[in-house]
């Protein structure tokens, strides 16, 4: 990429970061990928990733040849995450950097632009945008910007695995066969997981297939598995709640007798709990399941939910249980 373009891009990203995450999903999302770089260091390849799901993706493909560290742990909100000094140090020392892209990591965008000048820096969603994948959500209210929460559609995430595998192959050609074999194994698991989601969500009575959460993280999930999705906030947790929008959601919950709404692990519970009282006043008993959904991060290390598949299965279990009347207490 010519220097002038990098300067313009980084300037734009700086402006967008001032405007907040919601304003940053524009056409400038093409990440500055250092495709031509190849690995010349000593194994294992030191990889730094942003979110847990991106770290797992890199670790599963890289297998024994990589050592992966995630900057954002369980419960960390990637929209608001600001890198600290030690993160920058880790990124500087890494052989390769992997991040979600589509401005999920809204406050790290300019840092990735800088890193890409000297280091292999990969956005795992880059292939989706380059191909103009028809499944990418670009709802009109987001003014031409993409929704970054692609991992909630398992089939879409599985395509990111394929893309990242090719990034690995170009970066470290001698171990291409191993990366492709690891990826095939992971993709087979994800295919089973996708089927599980479809079957389980299919058990919810059709009239109850409505998912209300704090921020608009589950659009891909809803589109893939057949749920109508409403977020109180926008695509970023940073967005303010619009009271008129909240009232519309309340009315919809009462009119359609939707049994439950959901708290997310990285957003304060009061955001959705605020819906309970007005619904009750209108004669509708709304439940908020005790178990939170994982919107933007994986579960606690050591728990079943600490893996990508565990996180997805947890969400599906909580949603199916709360929206299926025969299973509600």
DSSP code string of 285-320: --B--SSPB-SSS---TTSGGGSHHHHHHHHHHHHH
The piece of 41-49, 139-147, 250-258, 290-298 that touches Zn ion (CB under 5 A) is: 290-298
Minimum separation from the CB atom of position 215 to Zn ion (A):
6
Number of residues binding to Zn ion, judged by CB under 5 A: 2
Is omega for the bond preceding 44 within 30 degrees of 0, making it cis? Answer: yes
Smaller CB distance to Zn ion: residue 57 or 217?
A: 217
Minimum separation from the CB atom of position 328 to Zn ion (A):
27
Smaller CB distance to Zn ion: residue 147 or 172?
A: 147
Burial class (CB in 10 A: 0-12, 13-18, 19+), 70: buried
Minimum separation from the CB atom of position 104 to Zn ion (A):
7
Nearest C-alpha neighbor of 239 from the set 131, 147, 128, 114: 147
Q: How many residues does the chain have?
A: 329
Instruction: Supply 206's token pair.
Output: 């059709």
Whole-angstrom distance, CA of residue 216 vs CA of residue 204 = 21
Whole-angstrom distance, CA of residue 15 vs CA of residue 237 = 19
Minimum separation from the CB atom of position 223 to Zn ion (A):
16
Minimum separation from the CB atom of position 119 to Zn ion (A):
26
Minimum separation from the CB atom of position 105 to Zn ion (A):
11
When binding is defined by CB under 5 A, the residue of 45, 47, 124, 217 that contacts Zn ion is 217
The piece of 81-89, 105-113, 226-234, 288-296 that touches Zn ion (CB under 5 A) is: 288-296
Q: Does 320 bind Zn ion (CB under 5 A)?
A: no
When binding is defined by CB under 5 A, the residue of 95, 194, 296, 305 that contacts Zn ion is 296
Smaller CB distance to Zn ion: residue 65 or 103?
A: 103
Give the helix/strand (H/E) hosting 120.
strand 120-123
* Three-state DSSP class for residue 196: helix
The residue ranges that bind Zn ion (CB under 5 A) are: 217, 296
């Amino acid at each position: 990429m010519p220097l002038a373009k990098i300067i313009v891009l980084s300037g734009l990203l700086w402006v967008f970061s001032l405007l907040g995450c919601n304003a940053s999903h524009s056409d400038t999302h093409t990440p500055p990928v250092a495709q031509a770089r190849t690995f010349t260091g000593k194994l294992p390849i030191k990889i730094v990733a942003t979110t847990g799901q991106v770290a797992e993706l890199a670790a599963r493909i890289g297998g024994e040849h990589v050592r992966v560290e995630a900057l954002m742990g369980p419960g960390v909100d990637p929209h608001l995450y600001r890198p600290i000094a030690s993160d920058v140090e880790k990124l500087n020392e890494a052989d390769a950097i992997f991040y979600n892209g589509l401005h999920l990591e809204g406050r790290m965008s300019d840092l990735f632009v800088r890193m890409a000048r000297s280091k292999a820096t990969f956005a795992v969603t880059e292939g989706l945008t380059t191909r103009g994948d028809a499944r990418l959500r670009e709802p009109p209210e987001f003014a031409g910007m993409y929704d970054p929460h692609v991992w909630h559609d398992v089939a879409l995430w599985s395509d990111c695995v394929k893309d990242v595998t090719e990034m690995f192959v170009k970066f470290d050609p001698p171990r291409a066969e191993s990366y492709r074999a690891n990826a095939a194994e992971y993709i087979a698991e994800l295919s089973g997981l996708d089927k599980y989601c479809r079957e389980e969500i299919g058990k919810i009575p059709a009239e109850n297939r409505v998912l209300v959460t704090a921020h608009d993280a589950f659009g891909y999930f809803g589109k893939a598995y057949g749920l109508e999705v409403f977020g109180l906030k926008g695509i970023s947790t940073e967005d303010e709640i619009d009271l008129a929008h909240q009232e519309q959601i309340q009315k919809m919950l009462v009119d359609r007798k939707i049994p439950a709404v959901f708290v997310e692990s990285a957003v304060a519970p009061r955001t959705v709990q605020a819906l309970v009282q007005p619904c009750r006043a209108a004669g509708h008993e709304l439940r908020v399941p005790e178990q939170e959904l994982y919107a933007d991060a994986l579960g606690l290390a050591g728990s079943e939910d600490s893996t990508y598949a565990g996180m997805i299965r947890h969400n599906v279990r909580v949603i199916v249980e709360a929206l299926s009347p025969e299973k509600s207490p």
